Amino acid sequence: MSAKELVYNASPVWLQNLLVTAYGQHLYRKRYSGIYKDALRLARESRDWTPDQTLAHQAERLHQMVKHCRETVPYYQQLFASHGLHENDFTSVEDLTKLPILTKATLKAQPESFRSSKGERFMLQHTSGSTGSPLELDVNEYTYKLAMALVVEHEEAHGVPFGAPRATFAGRMIQPASRLRPPYSRINRAENQRLFSSYHLNATTFPDYARELDRFSPAELIGYPSALADLANYYLLTNTRPGFTPTAIITNSETLLDWQRDKIESVFGCPVFDYYGTAEYVLFAGQEADKSYRLNPVIGITEVLPEPTDHRLLATTLTNGAMPLLRYEIGDTAEPLDYLSSTVVHSLARINGRVDDYIELPDGRRVGRLDHVFKGINALAEAQIVQDAPDHCSIYIVIKGTDSNEAETKIRDNLHQRLGQVISVSIERVPEIPRGKNGKFKNVVRAYE
């Protein structure tokens, strides 16, 4: 634990609120000053671009980025020379296929060779390392502030103006896990934000959460789907309803499952609009009213490799000259909806999650998006599927409220309908499912090599 964390944890709540607000003011200046206004303006304008306008913008920016890479980035200088490529070979988004796919392993092995000699680093971004491979990436000022603008524009598009009161449920430790006394939130007055702990919510503390939320009356709830679904579940268990109605709920950072969406929307009486971004700042996809994910065309070009390559996501930065990534394999998969070219996509039907978040059958088939297995089980609070052998899955479930063994029977039947009888299933009820260090929740885990 750092010295700052020790001081914060030892401080009274009133001082913690001041410290949170002071840090919020620092972030506010970092995120929303200077060229942020230009980034937000372009983010708003791009929402109404036609496919032709999108292609024209992306082709022009791609040409400029390739030129920048050839002149200033050692990795691409060597790559272009070995492939006989020049920026004049890149005049449309379809020309991206002339480049090989960049893997995270390559980037991790030689990060210095991706740094531009003319890049101006505004910040050093640390990825979470959820796949076991954390990275450090240089990010320029425009890219960082554009990423902030894209979230704001996503919220605006769904009725939440900048500065409206919002309650956040994510992975922040606002007080030690052992301190089980209210309040369970802290205020960031710089952004009119109340940050709630996702680590203290249980049947005993829920009334305190409900009172704090009612007093704050947020126009927006934002956070991890698992945390917001857990909150919604306690309202259902206590047969209560929030004393406020948000304009919208925004989820991020985890795969939003259909049964989580249904539970959250039924409790709070407003729609959920998920968004998907990456720590590398190479793409942003915001969910629309029809539940499709609209890819913003400004921050990057997104490709979805066609089957049988499992619809892997690739992204090419159009803005981050400090450490450019071209045809970078993110490690996630998605179902494409609208294409702009043979591989470049305009929107996605859904984000499926990481490549390794699949159940792999003994015959080699891989099955993802298994959240339908749990749909309609009202007492279910959380569930996780762990494939611990080629022919076996353990399913861990958290049941809150009155329930018989019907839930287990239904889960088993639903899973066998989708996977057949080639995999055996064990179901275990547990009091809780552990989160990762960043507070994120994995729905499917492959636990064998």
Report the Cα–Cα distance between both ends of the chain, in Å, rounded.
34
37 contacts 146 by C-beta, under 8 angstroms: no
Cβ within 8 Å of residue 188, ≥6 positions away: 20, 21, 23, 24, 194, 195
Between CA 440 and CA 233 the distance in angstroms is: 18
Between CA 93 and CA 97 the distance in angstroms is: 8
Between CA 441 and CA 278 the distance in angstroms is: 17
The backbone torsions φ and ψ at residue 330, rounded to the nearest 5 degrees and listed phi first, read: -70, -35
- Identical fold for domains 36-149+277-354 and 359-446, yes or no, is no
pLDDT given at position 129: 47
Structural domain boundaries of the chain?
3-33+159-270, 36-149+277-354, 359-446
416 contacts 386 by C-beta, under 8 angstroms: no
Residue ranges of alpha helices (H) inside 158-257 are 206-216, 225-237
Cβ within 8 Å of residue 299, ≥6 positions away: 143, 146, 147, 150, 281, 282, 283, 284, 317, 318, 319
Q: What is the CATH number of domain 36-149+277-354?
A: 3.40.50.12780
Q: How far is CA 30 from CA 271, 312, 385, in A?
A: 30, 33, 40
Q: What is the pLDDT along the chain (449 residues), one digit of tens a residue?
A: 678 888 999 999 999 999 999 999 999 999 999 999 999 999 999 999 999 999 999 999 999 999 999 999 999 999 999 999 999 999 999 999 999 999 988 998 899 999 999 988 999 987 754 444 467 899 999 999 999 999 999 999 999 999 999 999 987 888 887 788 999 999 999 999 999 998 888 888 999 999 999 999 999 999 988 889 989 999 999 999 999 999 999 999 888 888 889 999 999 999 999 999 998 999 999 999 999 999 999 999 999 988 765 688 999 999 999 999 999 999 888 999 999 988 899 999 988 766 556 677 786 666 665 766 787 677 787 888 888 888 898 999 888 766 667 788 888 888 877 777 888 889 989 988 887 665 667 778 877 76
359-446 topology per CATH: GMP Synthetase; Chain A, domain 3 (3.30.300)
Q: Judge residue 163's burial from the number of C-beta atoms within 10 Å of its C-beta, 0-12 exposed, 13-18 middle, 19 or more buried.
A: exposed
Helix/strand/coil for 365: coil
Residue ranges of alpha helices (H) inside 192-273 are 206-216, 225-237, 258-268
**């004393």: which residue's tokens?**
243
Tell me the residue length of the chain: 449
Q: How far is CA 105 from CA 40, 82, 114, 131, 295, in A?
A: 33, 20, 13, 11, 25
Between CA 426 and CA 411 the distance in angstroms is: 10
Cβ within 8 Å of residue 84, ≥6 positions away: none
pTM: 0.82
The backbone torsions φ and ψ at residue 162, rounded to the nearest 5 degrees and listed phi first, read: -60, 130
